[in-house]
Amino acid sequence: MTAMATTERPDPPRTADERTSLEGWLDFHRATLALKCEGLDDKRLREASAPPSGLTLLGLVRHMAEVERSWFRRVLDQQDIGPIWYSDEDPDGEFHLTDEDAPEAAFAIWREEIAKADRAAAGRSLDDVVSRPDRGDYNLRWIYLHMIEEYARHNGHADLIRERIDGATGD
């Protein structure tokens, strides 16, 4: 079973307004992670192919689901929701896979968190500021930029992991 069906990656707009550009780049990076996972079976999605790192493509997908949830739902929308896979006892739980962790479920949760993130941001100004006593003040612009950076960094990891798995390269 492969991770996802054929992914179409949107080209970010080159002459759009700020909001459209930020959303375009975020969508581009979301699709890039999906492409890095495309066509791989369960075993390969779990493969830590760049020793000594234990990082896997499936772990990255789960991590990005947590990041989407945290920044858009917990911070921006101030929802009182817990994490999906990590805990105080296992702060990197999204990276610690068990035999019961099905890739299909992880990809479904990731896609669901993306949809919920997009809904949380819809209709808000980039200048909307949210305050979290434990994290400080953020505006939506900063959250978008941070998410683009987060995906870009982890897509670099995904690139290396995928190349080590089967030689596939590309942006």
What's 53's domain CATH number? 1.20.120.450
> Do the domain assignments include residue 30?
yes
Domain span holding position 161 = 18-166
Cβ atoms 4, 33 nearer than 8 A: no
Cβ atoms 68, 107 nearer than 8 A: no
What percent of the chain lies above the pLDDT cut of 70? 97
Residues 6 or more apart in contact with residue 127 via CB below 8 angstroms: 139, 140, 141
Say how many domains are in the chain. 1
pLDDT tens per residue across span 53-94: 999 999 999 999 999 999 999 999 999 999 999 999 999 999
pLDDT tens per residue across span 94-115: 999 999 999 999 999 999 999 9
Query: What pLDDT score was predicted for residue 3?
Result: 46
> Do the domain assignments include residue 2?
no
Query: What pLDDT score was predicted for residue 134?
Result: 82
- Report the alpha-carbon distance of residue 65 to residue 95 in Å, rounded: 12
> Do the domain assignments include residue 9?
no
> Do the domain assignments include residue 54?
yes
131 sits in which H/E element: strand 129-132
> Do the domain assignments include residue 50?
yes
The band of 135, judged by pLDDT with boundaries at 50, 70 and 90, is confident
